[in-house]
Amino acid sequence: MEAFVQSAGDDGVIVVSFGSMVKTISAERREVLAAAFARLRQKVVWRYVGENPTGLGNNTKLLDWLPQNDLLAHPKTRAFITHAGANGMYEALHHGVPMICLPMFSDQPGNAARVVARGLGVKLDFSTVTAEQLYQAILHVVTNSSYQETAARLSRLHRDQPQSPMERAVWWIEYVIKHGRLPHLRARAVELPWYQYYLLDVAVFLLTVFSAVLGTVWCSCSFFCRKICCKSGAKLKSQ
């Protein structure tokens, strides 16, 4: 892997991963991606499972699994093509890597919108993007220095903490050892009855209120309808 990355030279590497939940990609979509990657000057490391695309370029390396965090941390990595999952997004943010987002479902569209709003990258529609659009988007992110500068600045903000994650973990472990079970930090939700935990009491209350309002409206309408019918019947009899 290191030899492949180093062979990219000054052009660098593009890391591509759509997460562990997306096992396969349709034939049409994989050919679109492969055609766009084949036009790049950069080397491409693509986490991909399935039949090899026919338009796969010599610059693209396919892997069933890749060390994503390590690749994003590599100084030759220029961009990250991602589905905008939370883990990958935060890894790219931590290492200061701009992103080309192709969200698919769940929290991914929202994550991609935040990436665009912060100036960390661009967003494309996975189901309709063409090879030309994807190629131009990658070229835009890689060649536009504002994305690199923004990613580097946000990475510095993200990393600037009073403790490293390792130090924080050690501190909490020693805190628990020193002070015992820590009942003051225990979430009160675990002490609730099951019907309160699942908000069934709230649901019953709202259903009761809704039923009462609906019943009141129904009775009122029925009462006025009877009054009107009685008056109409008395008027007809008098005539």
Q: What is the pLDDT of residue 211?
A: 94
Domain CATH number, residue 111 = 3.40.50.2000
Of the three residues 141, 159, 177, the one that is the final residue of a domain is: 159
Q: What is the pLDDT of residue 225?
A: 83
- The least confident of 93-102, 116-125, 173-182 is 173-182
| Environment class of 207 (CB within 10 Å of its CB; exposed 0-12, middle 13-18, buried 19+) | exposed
| Number of structural domains the chain divides into | 2
Give kind and range of the element (H or E) at residue 100: strand 99-101
Task: Check whether 212 has a pLDDT greater than 90.
Answer: yes
Task: Check whether 237 has a pLDDT greater than 60.
Answer: no
> Does 141 share its domain with 214?
no
For residue 178, is it within any domain? no
Q: How confident is the model at residue 75 (pLDDT cuts 50, 70, 90)?
A: very high
H helices, E strands: number in the chain: 10, 6
Task: Check whether 50 has a pLDDT greater than 90.
Answer: no
Task: Check whether 221 has a pLDDT greater than 60.
Answer: yes
Question: What are the structure tokens assigned to 104, written together?
Answer: 């698919």
For residue 168, is it within any domain? no
Q: Measuring CA to CA, which residue among 31, 35, 47 is closest to residue 80? A: 47
Q: How many CA atoms lie within 13 A of 61 on its CB side?
A: 17
> Does 134 share its domain with 33?
yes
Q: What is the pLDDT of residue 20?
A: 80
Q: What is the pLDDT of residue 239?
A: 58
Non-local CB neighbours of 125 within 8 Å, separated by 6+ positions:
102
Q: What is the pLDDT of residue 12?
A: 95
How far is residue 228's CA from residue 171's CA, in Å, rounded to a whole number?
A: 77
Of all residues in the chain, the percent with pLDDT exceeding 90 is 72
Task: Check whether 19 has a pLDDT greater than 70.
Answer: yes
> Does 52 share its domain with 121?
yes
| Environment class of 3 (CB within 10 Å of its CB; exposed 0-12, middle 13-18, buried 19+) | exposed
For residue 43, is it within any domain? yes
The string of DSSP letters for 18-30 reads: -TTT-----HHHH
For residue 179, is it within any domain? no
Which domain range does residue 200 map to?
A: 190-238
Task: Check whether 232 has a pLDDT greater than 70.
Answer: no
For residue 228, is it within any domain? yes
Give kind and range of the element (H or E) at residue 17: strand 13-17
Q: How confident is the model at residue 171 (pLDDT cuts 50, 70, 90)?
A: very high
Of all residues in the chain, the percent with pLDDT exceeding 70 is 96
Residue in the block written with tokens 């062979």: 7
Q: What is the pLDDT of residue 184?
A: 83
Measured in whole angstroms, how far is the alpha carbon of residue 237 from the centre of its chain? 73
- The least confident of 69-78, 80-89, 179-188 is 179-188
- Gyration radius of the chain's alpha carbons: 30
Question: What are the structure tokens assigned to 68, written together?
Answer: 């994503």
Q: Measuring CA to CA, which residue among 70, 74, 76, 13 is closest to residue 46? A: 13
Is the separation of the CB atoms in 121 and 100 below 8 Å?
yes
